[in-house]
Amino acid sequence: MLKVYNRGEHKGGFIGVRIAVMIGGKHRQKYFSYKNIDKSEEAIYKDAEQLHREWLMLKNLASTETQRESKELRRVTSPYSTGVKGIKFSISHRRSYFFVQGSTDNKLFYKNFSINDYGYDLAWYKACEFLQSHKDYSIFDKIYKRKPQKEMLLITFRHLFFTTKKPIHFESISSVIEKPIFINWLKQLARQYSDNKTFKSKVFEYISSNKIYDEELLNMVM
């Protein structure tokens, strides 16, 4: 908003130009008084107009960034998303994978890369390499640098176990996630799904067979 206040129009007696713009959820405003004896009213108005244009540009940039972030969030919030288009997390029974899928010239391509067999870093490297090999442009460096955090696998596991009720085992991810993080995650799920007897049974079986003694977790699943 850019508004000129003439004599008697402003309750506080202000005479001059007021600009106000909302930028990224924050309100900015500034008053340019015509009482400035060093400049003419025309020059003061031009100053206000220039700053107003700059603020509007910042508003548009902030709006574009917000839209981009919202789009990115919608894409990444899939329980299988790695954050890279064409590569997803996949868990089957006792193994976890990077699943690559896409098409080139209307021909589909897809392949699994076992995180348990290759290790997390090498599996990601091979997945990126495979995706790039089926594209006619160089994307390897760009997508490889966007390697997702290992803990994102926990989101995939939770979705498959509790929502789709797939018969998957903790061993599919326990060797990938650091033990303290994994145990704390099990505690969080035990609190969240305190009435889920199947989950409690699976946790008890897992910590017993792997000789993991955590009194708090044990009490939660007994």
Instruction: Tell me whether strands 87-92 and 95-104 are parallel, antiparallel or unpaired.
Output: antiparallel
Q: What is the pLDDT of residues 203-218, one digit of tens each?
A: 999 999 999 988 999 9
CB-based contacts of 65-74 (< 8 A; 24+ apart in sequence): 65/24, 66/24
Whole-number pLDDT of residue 68: 53
Amino acid at 217: L
Whole-number pLDDT of residue 71: 53
Whole-number pLDDT of residue 66: 55
Determine the longest span between alpha carbons in the chain, in angstroms: 85
Whole-number pLDDT of residue 73: 44
Q: How far apart are CA 174 and CA 168, in angstroms?
A: 12
For the cut 90, the answer to whether the pLDDT of residue 37 exceeds it is: no
Q: Find where tokens 């006619």 sit.
A: 136
Whole-number pLDDT of residue 177: 92
Q: What is the pLDDT of residues 103-156, one digit of tens each?
A: 888 899 999 999 999 999 999 999 999 998 887 556 788 888 889 999 999 999
Q: What is the pLDDT of residues 165-183, one digit of tens each?
A: 988 899 999 999 999 899 9
* Cα 192 from chain centroid (whole Å): 22
Q: What is the pLDDT of residues 4-28, one digit of tens each?
A: 999 889 888 999 999 999 877 788 8
Q: Find where tokens 């839209």 sit.
A: 67
pTM: 0.63
Q: How far apart are CA 149 and CA 66, in angstroms?
A: 23
For CA atoms 41, 45, 51, 54, give the dihedral sign. Answer: negative
Mean pLDDT score across all residues of the chain: 87
For the cut 90, the answer to whether the pLDDT of residue 91 exceeds it is: yes
Please report, rounded to a whole number, the percentage of residues in the chain having pLDDT higher than 70: 91
Retrieve residue 202's tokens: 């699976």
Amino acid at 88: K
